[in-house]
Amino acid sequence: MSGTPVTIKIGGTAGADAASLALLTERAEPGWVIVHGGGNEVAAWSRRLGHEPATVDGLRVTDAETLDIAVAVLRGLVNARLVAVFAAAGVSAIGLSGADASLLRAERFDARLGEVGRISAVNGALLAALAAAGHVPIVASLALGADGGLLNVNADEVAGSIAASRGGRLLLLTDVPGLERNGELVNTLDIREAEVALADGTARDGMLPKLRAAVAAARAGCTVEMVNGTDPDAVRAALDGRTTGTRISGAGAAGVSR
């Protein structure tokens, strides 16, 4: 994948497969951007502090207290630990949130979710400059709101938006093999088929933001794959360009040929 922009979404360290993470650190190179979530860690810390988590359509409800917890956990614990893992493997990794150099801007879009944003702009010039300097950004899924405050953003959406801004490949590492329909893995989808899966209930809960992110990136011309991040063999195959999960192509979109 050398020379091709690659955006990879991974989970937080508590849920990451150690072998898959080690593989990523071995293969990482300038031109990669790692986006991470950490929903399990945020939920665990919320419960520890007596604040029961809630979700709507696969997205975390974020009131002011939950936002404080998310910032502390995502930009603090999870991001720093991931940077340390990559740095220990000799990767020039730099930890970022969306607020750094206005990397990510977002707008609130659903009052039910509270302090949750939808990405409105990506500072692609910053990512290009970091790649040119030999660095691998590791991005926590927080964005800068219009009022100067931070907003929580689903990590899949962040990855999809970053990939759409820079092209190349998007790998969404998840804890399932890919999108399933009637218990069977769906190997390939075009954009129209992915939109049907979003509308007909095939994609539910946490798969909803993943598939939305995949569609956004595919519309921008990216090659998109959902891969089982808990299976190092599947991750290795994806890095080598072999599909084992669900691939979403740009075909099926207006103006995009098969």
Distance between CA atoms of 82 and 73, rounded to whole angstroms? 12
Euclidean distance between CA atoms 239 and 188, whole angstroms: 17
pLDDT of residue 60: 85
Which residues contact residue 200 at a Cβ distance below 8 angstroms, ignoring those fewer than 6 apart? none
Q: Say yes or no to pLDDT of 85 above 90.
A: yes
Task: Check the CA dihedral 205-230-103-100 and report its sign.
Answer: positive
pLDDT by residue (tens digit) across 3-43? 789 999 998 654 467 889 999 999 999 999 999 999 889 99
Report the Cα–Cα distance between both ends of the chain, in Å, rounded.
Answer: 23
Amino acid at 86: F
Q: Which pLDDT value is given to residue 156?
A: 95
Q: pLDDT per residue over 53-83, tens digit each?
A: 998 877 889 999 999 999 999 999 999 999 9
Residue ranges per structural domain of the chain: 6-248
Other CB atoms within a 10 A radius of the CB of residue 25 amount to 19
pLDDT reading at 1 higher than 60: no
Return the sign of the alpha-carbon dihedral for residues 39, 44, 48, 54: positive
Q: For the domain bounded by 6-248, which CATH number is listed?
A: 3.40.1160.10
Taking the CA atoms of residue 103, residue 175, residue 168 and residue 215 in that order, the dihedral angle to the nearest 10 degrees is -80
Instruction: State the average pLDDT over residues 103-109.
Output: 97
Is it the case that residue 2 has pLDDT exceeding 80? no
pTM: 0.93
| DSSP string across 83-95 | HHHHHHTT--EEE
* Selected residue with higher pLDDT from 58 and 135: 135
pLDDT of residue 12: 64
What is the Cα–Cα distance from 27 to 119, expressed in whole angstroms?
28
pLDDT tens for 233-247 read 999 999 998 988 999
